[in-house]
Amino acid sequence: MRKSLVICASAVLAAAACFTGCKLNESQISAIANQAGIASVALWIGVDNPSSDQKVVATEMVNVIKENASTVVAGASYYEVMSPMINTYIDSNVNEQYKLIARLAGGWVLNGVDMFFVMYPTYSTNATASAKIVGSFCDGAIIALAMASDDPIIKAASRGMADSAKARKALQ
């Protein structure tokens, strides 16, 4: 019990230090971005429950975002800058029946990236470093897209969405 309290207190102090000015190194911020990518896309899967084919299209969109992340200047919105490019890609390369899901997946990931930089604004000031962080976020997104529907993370996201729907219904 005492050991658990010491570990918990250490974690709280470490978190407080980071929130009050701790500078994360490249591997630390990349690991956080990777986890954020997993969480963002797992939530999308929990919301929309995409089919296997739709996940393949979403993975393609994530790869397009990752490959073109360096086109965004430091501090700019990834959604604002990359959406036109994503839409052009979709119009030229994605089968008609999957265009809507491709736009949704691309937009979801770009919004997730923008939210990441809202939470960690100091890491958006260098375009080269930002592109690496976006790459890590996208790697996490691809991990989530490859998860089975019975993966504990996907099940938790789906359960969380179902619980939210029940709560909203109860309030009506």
Domain ranges for the chain, please list them.
25-171
Tokens of 21: 């000015």
Q: What percent of the chain has pLDDT over 70?
A: 80
The span from the CA of 106 to the CA of 40, in Å, is: 12
pLDDT by residue (tens digit) across 24-47?
A: 888 999 999 999 999 999 999 988
**Bigger pLDDT: 149 vs 58:** 58
pLDDT exceeds 90 at position 68: yes
pLDDT at 57: 97
Residue 73 is classified by DSSP as: P
Tokens of 163: 């619980």
**Bigger pLDDT: 164 vs 47:** 47
In the numeric block, the tokens 């959604």 are attached to 79
Mean pLDDT of 62-79: 94
Residues 6 or more apart from 40 whose CB is under 8 A from it? 108, 109, 112, 115, 137, 140, 141, 144
Other CB atoms closer than 10 Å to residue 168's CB: what's the count? 9
Residue 116 CA to its chain's centroid (Å): 8
Work out the mean pLDDT of the chain and round it to a whole number.
85
What are the Cα distances from residue 80, in Å, to 21, 87, 166?
Answer: 29, 12, 34
pLDDT at 21: 60
pLDDT at 11: 43
Mean pLDDT of 118-146: 94
